[in-house]
Structure 1
Amino acid sequence: MGFLDRLTGTKHPDRGVEPRSTEGVRAALLGLNGPEAPYVVRAAAPAEGADLVAEWRLREPAWHPYFARTQLDRTLRIRMRLLPAARELRALDEQWKVTWTGGTPTLVLEREYSRGQVTESSREWTVGRRADGRLGVEEAARFDAAALKDPLRDAVLAAGWTWRGAVFRL
C-alpha cells in the first residue's frame, strides 16, 4: 500500500480472491440492507452521478428515535461508482451537519458540508452522578464514519475488487 493509497483510503483485495462480476459486486452491496441496519444501500438516481449510494436512514421516521438517542450531529452519504474494466469501486464521501427540532432531523447545508474521504470519529462525554451517588463519566454522543464505511469496503474486498477512495471526483 503506497502513500497515495493511504491518503485516499484505497484498499486492495487479498491475493487469490476471485473477482466477481459487476452484478455480483452490486448484489453484495445491496445485500447489506436489512431492517436492523441503520443505513441503506440503494441504486443512485441519474442526477447523483454514481451507480450506488449508501446513507444513514436518518429520514425514515422509524429510525428517528435511534439517531436522536445517539445524538447524531452529522450525516454521511457515500456515492459509489463501479468500474468493471479496472475491477474497482470508487467511493466519494459527503457529510452534512444535522440539527434536531423536536425529534425530527433537519439537514443544514451551510458551512458544515464536506466532500472527500471522511475517516473521523468523535465522542462526547458527560460527567455526572451515577445511581450510587458517585461521580462518573458517560458517553453522550458518538459519530463514527467506519460504522457505515467498513461493511461496504469489506463487501467490495470480499468480491475481489479494489475499494478506491476518490478525493476530488468520481
Structure 2
Amino acid sequence: MVAEQRIPELELTVKVRMRLLPARREVEVITEQWGRVSYEGGSKQYGRGAGRRVARQWQFRKGPDGRRRLVETFRYDSRDMTDPLQRAVLEAGWVWREVLFGS
C-alpha cells in the first residue's frame, strides 16, 4: 500500500510505502521524500527514512486592536500523515517497522 501527500507550499512530495506481512502480523514501512532543500530554490533532492519534517510560515497582520502581530499562515508536520497510519496498524495488533530497504 502507498500513502502519498503533496505539499505545494514546500514543493514537497512524501510517500509512505507499506508492505503487509500477514504471517508475521507486521507492516514494513519505507518513507520517501522529494523536495527542495531550501526556500531559496535549491535543487530537488530525494530522501529516504523515518525522519520528521516540520515547516511553518508566518506573516504580519493587523489584529482586532489594529496592532500588527505575527500570525501563522502555514504549518506542515510529517507526523500528521504517518501517525494515523501507524496508529491503525498498532491498534490492529500488528507491528509497525520502519526500514530503509524492503526485504
TM-score class normalised by the smaller sequence: 0.7 to 0.9
Match of 2:17 among 55, 65, 79: 79
Asked if structure 1 preserves the Cα contact closer than 8 Å seen for 2:58 and 2:73, the reply is yes
Does 1 or 2 have the higher relative contact order (CA < 8 Å, sep 6+)? Answer: 1
- Say whether the 8 Å CA contact 1:72–1:143 is kept in structure 2: no
Give ranges in structure 1 of 5+ residues lacking alignment: 1-51, 59-66, 99-109
Corresponding letter in the other structure for 2:25 = R
Superposed counterparts of 1:87-102, under 5 Å: 87-97=25-35
Higher helix fraction (1 or 2): 1
Aligned equivalents of 1:137, 1:75: Cα separation in 2: 28
Q: Is the 8 A contact 1:72 1:142 kept in 2?
A: no
Counterpart in the other structure of 1:162: 95
| Percent of matched pairs sharing the same residue | 41
Between the aligned partners of 1:133 and 1:83, the Cα distance in structure 2 is 58
The 5 A counterparts of 1:64-143 are 71-97=9-35, 110-143=43-76
For structure 2, the 5+ residue unaligned runs are 37-42
TM-score using structure 2 length = 0.78
Aligned residues: 96
Name the structure where strand makes up a greater proportion of residues: 2
CA distance in 2, matches of 1:54, 1:119: 16
Q: Distance in 2 between matches of 1:114 and 1:81?
A: 19
C-alpha deviation, 1:82, in angstroms? 1.1
